[in-house]
Amino acid sequence: MLRNSSPDQYAVFGSPIKHSKSPIIHEQFAKQTGQDLVYTAQEVSAEYFSAAVDDFFANGGQGLNCTVPLKELAWQYANFRSERAERSKAVNTLVLQDDGSILGENTDGIGLVTDLVSNQGISLKDSSILILGAGGASRGIIEPILSQLPDNVVIANRTVVKAINLADEFAGTVPIKGCDFDALAGQNFTLVLNATSASLTNQLPPLPEGLLAENGVCYDLAYANEPTTFVRWGQANYAEKSLDGLGMLVEQAAEAFYLWRGVRPETQLVIDSLRPQMKS
């Protein structure tokens, strides 16, 4: 295909978007891999989503990331979706195809699994996993987690019916069930994932004592300049590792970059470069 000399356009749409780290991440990926592209963050509300995406692709856009509160709308917008995105009912990456159609993908779950397994050396096989929260992020990570063949998965949520419905939706070979936080008393898990948004307001779901197995790992999908409330909870409960979601953020971006450009960037360099900035 003939291209003019201006760089290819990519963006992340969301609201609020001001604090997004995605432009810095993609700029580093592009520099590292010698790709000529521009990636911007644009404030787009749900109301204007469809018109804004039409406009973006009509004006030369090649690929889009969509974040809160647009992932379900992006799922609807896509002309077709990967099997994983289809099941998660949420799309964070739109990819322009050669025939002009738009593919919808969800790279959040692969991002999480890559960070846990490849970066942190944590095997999910045969583990017992607790997922706190049953919102969009939880929905996006379940399939990639189940594909690692854990022993069992429990989803706990404040609004219990959402946890039960989500577990029912993903029922298959790996035992998975939904419950409320009270039902966690007396159970323990080798991996506890916080997929609630509680950390964003410095809150913590009500978690019983003894929830984390010996040598267990805690992972908060949220990230912040300082350790999140959940990361601190993990540390106080003697987690072998208590991690935040910065690695997941960079890994989901790398997966999107690969879908758009066909090149895999080196992620650890980027994670390492962002970590000190977050402390400042």
Q: How far is the CB of 157 from ligand NDP (least distance, A)?
A: 5
Does 71 qualify as catalytic in the annotation? yes
Instruction: By CB under 6 A, tell whether 203 contacts ligand NDP.
Output: yes
Question: Residues 28, 157, 190, 229: which binds ligand NDP (CB under 6 A)?
Answer: 157
123 is an interface residue for ligand NDP by CB under 6 A: no
CB of 161 to ligand NDP, least distance (A): 9
Per the structure block, which two tokens stand in for 142?
């379940």
Nearer to ligand NDP (CB atom), residue 137 or residue 153:
137
- The secondary structure of the chain, three-state, reads CCCCCCCEEEEEEECCCCCCCHHHHHHHHHHHHCCCEEEEEEECCHHHHHHHHHHHHHCCEEEEEECCCCHHHHHHHCCEECHHHHHHCCCCEEEECCCCCEEEECCHHHHHHHHHHHHCCCCCCCCEEEEECCCHHHHHHHHHHHCCCCCEEEEECCCHHHHHHHHHHCCCCCCEEEECCHHHCCCCEEEEEECCCHHHHCCCCCCCCCCEEEEEEEEECCCCCCCCHHHHHHHHCCCCEEECCHHHHHHHHHHHHHHHHCCCCCCHHHHHHHHHHHHC
Q: Shortest distance, CB of residue 67 to ligand NDP, whole angstroms?
A: 7
Cα–Cα distances (Å) from 204 to 36, 45, 242, 243, 247, in that order, read 42, 28, 14, 15, 21
Q: How far is the CB of 183 from ligand NDP (least distance, A)?
A: 14
Number of residues that bind ligand NDP (CB under 6 A): 28
Binding segment for ligand NDP among 44-52, 165-173, 242-250, 257-265 (CB under 6 A)? 242-250
Among 53, 64, 85, 137, binds ligand NDP (CB under 6 A): 137
Q: Per rule CB under 6 A, is residue 245 in the interface with ligand NDP?
A: yes
- Residue 83 CB, shortest distance to ligand NDP, in Å, is 20
Query: Which window, 39-47, 76-84, 94-102, 198-206, contacts ligand NDP (CB under 6 A)?
Result: 198-206
3-state secondary structure of 231: helix
In the shown chain, the binding pattern of residues 33 to 72 toward ligand NDP, with x for contact by CB under 6 A and - for none, equals -----------------------------------x----
With CB under 6 A as the contact rule, the residue among 133, 144, 234, 265 that binds ligand NDP is 133
| 193 and 131 Cβ atoms separated by less than 8 Å | yes
List 14, 109, 178, 205, residue binding ligand NDP (CB under 6 A):
205
- Choose, from 71, 89, 125, 162, the residue flagged as catalytic: 71
* Contacts with ligand NDP, residue ranges (CB under 6 A): 68, 108, 111, 133-138, 157-159, 162, 195-200, 203, 205, 221-223, 245, 248-249, 252
Q: Which residues are catalytic?
A: 71
